[in-house]
Amino acid sequence: MKYVRCLKNKAYIHFHGQPLRDEALASLTVGRVYKALPPTEDERRLGELRIIDNEGEDYLYPADYFETVSFSAARKPDETATIHLDALTKDILRAEAIAARKTISALLRDWIDERLDLPA
Protein backbone atom coordinates (compact mmCIF):
# COMPACT_ATOMS: atom_id res chain seq x y z
CA MET A 1 0.00 0.00 0.00
CA LYS A 2 1.41 3.37 -0.98
CA TYR A 3 0.45 6.82 0.23
CA VAL A 4 1.38 10.03 -1.52
CA ARG A 5 1.05 13.74 -0.73
CA CYS A 6 -0.36 16.06 -3.41
CA LEU A 7 2.13 18.76 -4.46
CA LYS A 8 0.08 20.47 -7.15
CA ASN A 9 -3.41 20.28 -8.58
CA LYS A 10 -3.50 22.50 -11.66
CA ALA A 11 -5.34 21.19 -14.70
CA TYR A 12 -2.91 19.23 -16.84
CA ILE A 13 -4.97 18.34 -19.90
CA HIS A 14 -4.37 20.64 -22.84
CA PHE A 15 -6.23 20.33 -26.12
CA HIS A 16 -4.51 21.50 -29.30
CA GLY A 17 -5.55 25.00 -30.27
CA GLN A 18 -7.02 25.86 -26.87
CA PRO A 19 -5.37 27.97 -24.19
CA LEU A 20 -3.86 26.16 -21.23
CA ARG A 21 -6.31 26.19 -18.33
CA ASP A 22 -4.89 27.60 -15.12
CA GLU A 23 -7.42 26.21 -12.70
CA ALA A 24 -7.23 23.81 -9.80
CA LEU A 25 -8.62 20.32 -10.06
CA ALA A 26 -11.44 20.01 -7.54
CA SER A 27 -10.66 16.33 -7.09
CA LEU A 28 -7.17 16.97 -5.60
CA THR A 29 -6.16 19.13 -2.65
CA VAL A 30 -2.56 20.31 -2.33
CA GLY A 31 -0.99 18.95 0.88
CA ARG A 32 -3.54 16.16 1.36
CA VAL A 33 -2.45 12.51 1.54
CA TYR A 34 -3.99 10.09 -0.97
CA LYS A 35 -3.88 6.35 -1.49
CA ALA A 36 -2.07 5.29 -4.67
CA LEU A 37 -3.03 1.99 -6.27
CA PRO A 38 -0.36 -0.31 -7.73
CA PRO A 39 0.49 0.90 -11.24
CA THR A 40 0.19 -1.17 -14.38
CA GLU A 41 3.23 -1.42 -16.62
CA ASP A 42 1.72 1.18 -19.00
CA GLU A 43 0.98 3.62 -16.15
CA ARG A 44 4.53 3.25 -14.86
CA ARG A 45 5.96 3.78 -18.36
CA LEU A 46 3.83 6.91 -18.90
CA GLY A 47 4.79 8.34 -15.49
CA GLU A 48 1.27 8.32 -14.10
CA LEU A 49 -0.18 7.30 -10.75
CA ARG A 50 -3.65 5.90 -10.13
CA ILE A 51 -4.92 7.90 -7.14
CA ILE A 52 -8.12 7.56 -5.14
CA ASP A 53 -9.10 11.25 -5.19
CA ASN A 54 -11.44 13.47 -3.13
CA GLU A 55 -14.51 11.91 -4.77
CA GLY A 56 -13.37 8.39 -3.85
CA GLU A 57 -12.75 7.53 -7.51
CA ASP A 58 -9.47 6.24 -8.89
CA TYR A 59 -8.02 8.31 -11.73
CA LEU A 60 -4.66 8.66 -13.40
CA TYR A 61 -2.64 11.77 -12.54
CA PRO A 62 0.92 12.77 -13.45
CA ALA A 63 3.35 11.21 -10.98
CA ASP A 64 5.14 14.54 -10.50
CA TYR A 65 1.97 15.91 -8.86
CA PHE A 66 2.81 13.78 -5.80
CA GLU A 67 5.56 12.82 -3.40
CA THR A 68 5.74 9.53 -1.56
CA VAL A 69 4.84 9.81 2.12
CA SER A 70 7.72 8.63 4.28
CA PHE A 71 6.98 7.12 7.64
CA SER A 72 9.18 7.99 10.58
CA ALA A 73 9.70 5.45 13.34
CA ALA A 74 9.46 8.33 15.84
CA ARG A 75 5.87 9.29 14.96
CA LYS A 76 4.05 10.77 17.91
CA PRO A 77 0.29 11.31 18.08
CA ASP A 78 -0.37 15.01 17.56
CA GLU A 79 -3.87 14.98 16.09
CA THR A 80 -7.19 13.93 17.54
CA ALA A 81 -10.20 12.28 15.96
CA THR A 82 -13.67 12.14 17.44
CA ILE A 83 -16.13 9.35 16.79
CA HIS A 84 -19.72 9.15 17.94
CA LEU A 85 -20.90 5.72 19.08
CA ASP A 86 -24.11 4.25 20.39
CA ALA A 87 -23.98 3.15 24.03
CA LEU A 88 -23.75 -0.58 23.26
CA THR A 89 -20.78 -0.18 20.89
CA LYS A 90 -18.99 2.00 23.44
CA ASP A 91 -19.59 -0.63 26.13
CA ILE A 92 -18.23 -3.36 23.85
CA LEU A 93 -15.13 -1.26 23.12
CA ARG A 94 -14.63 -0.72 26.84
CA ALA A 95 -14.91 -4.49 27.44
CA GLU A 96 -12.41 -5.21 24.64
CA ALA A 97 -10.01 -2.60 26.04
CA ILE A 98 -10.21 -4.07 29.54
CA ALA A 99 -9.59 -7.57 28.18
CA ALA A 100 -6.55 -6.27 26.26
CA ARG A 101 -5.37 -4.31 29.35
CA LYS A 102 -5.37 -1.08 27.34
CA THR A 103 -7.27 2.15 27.23
CA ILE A 104 -9.95 2.47 24.56
CA SER A 105 -7.76 5.01 22.76
CA ALA A 106 -4.74 2.69 22.75
CA LEU A 107 -6.89 -0.20 21.53
CA LEU A 108 -8.29 1.90 18.66
CA ARG A 109 -4.81 3.14 17.68
CA ASP A 110 -3.61 -0.48 17.55
CA TRP A 111 -6.58 -1.49 15.43
CA ILE A 112 -5.97 1.42 13.05
CA ASP A 113 -2.27 0.51 12.75
CA GLU A 114 -3.19 -3.15 12.05
CA ARG A 115 -5.89 -2.25 9.49
CA LEU A 116 -3.80 0.28 7.57
CA ASP A 117 -0.66 -1.89 7.74
CA LEU A 118 1.57 1.18 7.98
CA PRO A 119 5.35 0.78 8.10
CA ALA A 120 6.85 0.94 11.58
Tens-binned pLDDT, residue by residue, of the chain (120 aa): 589 999 988 776 655 666 555 666 778 899 999 999 998 898 889 989 999 999 999 999 889 999 998 876 556 777 888 999 999 999 999 999 999 999 999 999 888 888 887 766
Task: For residue 44, give the 3-state DSSP assignment.
Answer: helix
Whether 3 and 35 have beta carbons less than 8 Å apart is answered as: yes
* DSSP conformation class of 18: S
Q: What is the pLDDT of residue 31?
A: 93
Its pTM stands at 0.66
Task: For residue 57, give the 3-state DSSP assignment.
Answer: coil
